[in-house]
Amino acid sequence: MTLVKTTYNRRSFFKTSLAAGGGLLIGFNWLASACTSDTPKGLVIPDEWFDVNAYLKIGENGVVTILSPNPEIGQNVKTSMPMIVAEELNVDWKNVIVEQAPLNTKKYTRQLAGGSDSIRTTWTALRTAGASACYMLKKAAADAWSVPVEEVTTELGVIHHKGSGKKAGYGEFASAAAAVPVPEEVELKDLKDFRIVGNSQKNVDGLGIVTGKPLFGLDYKVDGMLTAMIVHPPAFGMTLKSFDASDVKTMPGIKDVFALKVYNDDYARQWCDTSSFTELVAVVGNSTWEVMMAKLMLNVEWEPFAEQKYAAAGWGGNTQDVTVPGGLESTTEHKKKMIAEAAKSARVVRKDGNPEEAFKKAAKIIERTYTAPFLAHSPMEPMNFFADVKEDSAVLVGPIQSPEYMAKTVADRLGFPLEKVEVQMTRMGGGFGRRLYGHFMVEVALISQKMKAPVKLVYSREDEMTAGIYRPMYHAIYRAALDADNKLTAFHVKMGGIPESALHANRFPAGALDNYLAESWSIESNISVGAMRAPASNFNAAAEQSFLDELAEEMGVDPIQFRLDLLKRAQENPVGENNDYDAARYAGVLELVREKSGWDTDSQGKHRGVSAYFCHRSYVAQVLDIVMENGEPKVDHVYNAVDCGIVVNPDAAVNMTEGSVVDGIGTAMYGELTFNNGEPEQSNFDGYRLIRHAEAPRKIDVAFVENKIHPTGLGEPPYPPVMAALANALYKATGTRYYHQPFVKNTFEV
């Protein structure tokens, strides 16, 4: 067992008797993810139970309810996190009900869905919460039975004393346990004793999803609710000049049309307040259809804006001035600027040895350029949110990845104390980072305040795709120096982007070479960007792993063995001290995928590509098989080897990996958002190409490295490397190298 200190006093870990039900409520402000569920069949819920935020509740009949605050975006933390609590509580999973808690900034920290960090950051704390509750139940029973607490055990929600033969359900001692002091430290289970964690459990929302129950933001409604939509500039670099709503206001069902300023001029934005369109026109009416028709008839004039500056805080909280250039940008000009910038000297981020000298002495230099376009997040559920703003308080309900942060922005804009802004979270119909940026919450709050009525704001698909936020546009040049013996002597990457670079200078192959150089550059833009699934890594991996494959071919070595040899050097005699990966774990997934894919055996007509990458503290290696059918390449099979530490819910982990693979293939093959004079040229799925069912791999295998390492990220790590595995396999199948996304074009023509 592992002994851990609870280190939580009664202010942060408190308990109280249920006035009527006699149940135990244990609040724990370190619980950081959430889930919801209807009552399972057969469970009888005490009538006396009441809804609270962030509690583990034990009813007098032994049923357990876990409320948890983090948003659910499809990564299945709503099931996995309560599993961790239930494991240490020693309760039967069949007797657990899971519910979504609303935002509570006093009880919780990091109420966020992002960075693949929900399980990692709360693993020990969730276990401690369950173990502490379990101890308090045992102590209550021990006192009642006049036996030492050390002799009391629990199993599947039942308390036992073997010596006396006494036993009781948790519910019988829930009230008494409330008087037991919270232990200063508790013992956590040995991993070998786990019954729930490590065994697949069904998604607690699964039945509701497939039967169409109201789980998502677009499902939410209240009596008397109005519908609002926004009209934003048609192009980045433009702002509102004037509008005429006289005719529109007379249309059926329309309540009002007015201008809206999202942020005050003196407001210091948080990192999540990204938005290029802060002056909008709001159209409010009785129904979505009536409002959409009014939008089409609205006469609005827009004008270009000059360079703008505003204060903004980064992820770490440091405030700096952000410059937004004026002008109407186009993809053609973006490409010209990137080519020109890449030819200049850039900022050196890391330098090991003397790479310049190694390149001078090289017998051969391999140089390749890789690019990727802007990308839209394109979640199935467009942005939406509900608000009911009263004179001195506000209730907001909807899908958001950063509720804790956005509540602060809403409170500031409304002029309310933070505690007067209540945020309830619904399940999200996708996001992939888009819902980290919650300007739409501010917009609906201001509209509700103006209308003095409950309002739901709904973005159309076109609104969602043309209003940002986007994955940046990237450009990278990779160079390698080979000596007369065809051995690698130096490695150089120069990477940049609009408006930011994707460079991770301290990742592999840094640390594996004596001579290594990493440089970075960026170009300012008024096109708003933000995190997209595995930010920066989603380009870095695609370019780096494609280049390593081509380099291995040039050197005449097996691509997996080439990577393993570099990792052996990084493990046994690393260069530098800032390498942010574990070379042994990295090598481990490559060895596993080589075994599982049968890499060293006859591929039997399949064209194989390999890739491996580290991000979000996890390691993924992939082998992708392509077969040619009627002269066209078809992805047949993808093998995945994943090291993400302990796997909490295997089915969910497999699902996330499979989804990442399909998503990554679609991104590499088809994803592209282009601009003409500031206007996005793709505004719906007829122009913005997503992967289709027939284009998905026929089979995806997932193997996990079994170890005792605490869980690390999984929602994002399998996404970046598959793009390079695809590129490398396509080369084997077609004889063409793929340097530019989307691969269906594979050009960077200006």
Q: Give the SS3 label for residue 610.
A: strand
Q: Give the SS3 label for residue 719.
A: helix
Question: In the chain, what percentage of residues exceed pLDDT 70?
Answer: 92
Residue 33 CB-half CA count within 13 A: 26
Give CA–CA dist 104/109, Å, rounded: 9
Residues 317-367 have pLDDT tens digits of 778 888 999 999 999 999 999 999 999 999 999 999 999 999 999 999 999
Give CA–CA dist 79/216, Å, rounded: 17
pLDDT at residue 577 in the model: 86
DSSP string, 387-416: EEE-SS-EEEEE--S-HHHHHHHHHHHHT-
Helices (H), 188-329: 206-210, 288-297
Give CA–CA dist 647/655, Å, rounded: 12
Give CA–CA dist 204/207, Å, rounded: 7
Enumerate domains of the chain plus CATH numbers. Answer: 2-210 (3.30.365.10), 217-309+383-458 (3.30.365.10), 345-375+470-734 (3.30.365.10)
pTM of the predicted model, to two decimals? 0.93
CA distances (Å), origin 523, targets 77, 339, 505, 520: 37, 11, 19, 11
pLDDT at residue 18 in the model: 35
Q: Are 375 and 671 in contact (CB under 8 A)?
A: yes
Q: Which residues of 238-277 are buried (b: 16+ CB within 10 A; e: fewer)?
A: bbbeebebeebeebeebbbbbebebbeeebebbbbbbbbb
Q: Which residues of 506-525 are buried (b: 16+ CB within 10 A; e: fewer)?
A: bbbbbbbbbbbbbbbbbbeb
Question: In the chain, what percentage of residues exceed pLDDT 90?
Answer: 78
Q: Give the SS3 label for residue 634.
A: strand
Alpha carbon 245 to chain centroid distance? Answer: 40
Residues 489-528 have pLDDT tens digits of 999 999 999 999 999 999 999 999 999 999 999 999 999 9
pLDDT at residue 77 in the model: 86
Three-class DSSP labels, 505-536: CCCCCCCCCCCEEEEEEECCCCCCECCCCCCC
pLDDT at residue 49 in the model: 36
Instruction: Give me the sign of the Cα torsion angle 692, 694, 696, 700.
Output: positive
Residues 664-715 have pLDDT tens digits of 999 999 999 999 999 999 999 999 999 999 999 999 999 999 999 999 999 9
Q: Are 423 and 439 in contact (CB under 8 A)?
A: no
For residue 261, the cross-strand partners are 279
pLDDT at residue 252 in the model: 96
User: For the residues 604-627, what does the mean pLDDT come to?
Assistant: 97
Question: 74, 73, 95: which is closest to 82 by C-alpha?
Answer: 95
Q: Are 741 and 373 in contact (CB under 8 A)?
A: yes
Tokens of 62: 């032994």
Give CA–CA dist 530/508, Å, rounded: 24
Residues 398-426 have pLDDT tens digits of 999 999 999 999 999 999 999 999 999 99
pLDDT at residue 1 in the model: 61
Q: What is the largest CA-CA distance in the chain?
A: 84
Question: 266, 220, 262, 227: which is closest to 406 by C-alpha?
Answer: 262
Mean pLDDT lowest among 86-95, 230-239, 318-327: 318-327
Q: Which helix (H) or strand (E) holds 439?
A: helix 439-451
Give residue 14's region: left, alpha or beta (phi > 0; psi -120 to 50): beta
Give CA–CA dist 366/364, Å, rounded: 7
pLDDT at residue 315 in the model: 72
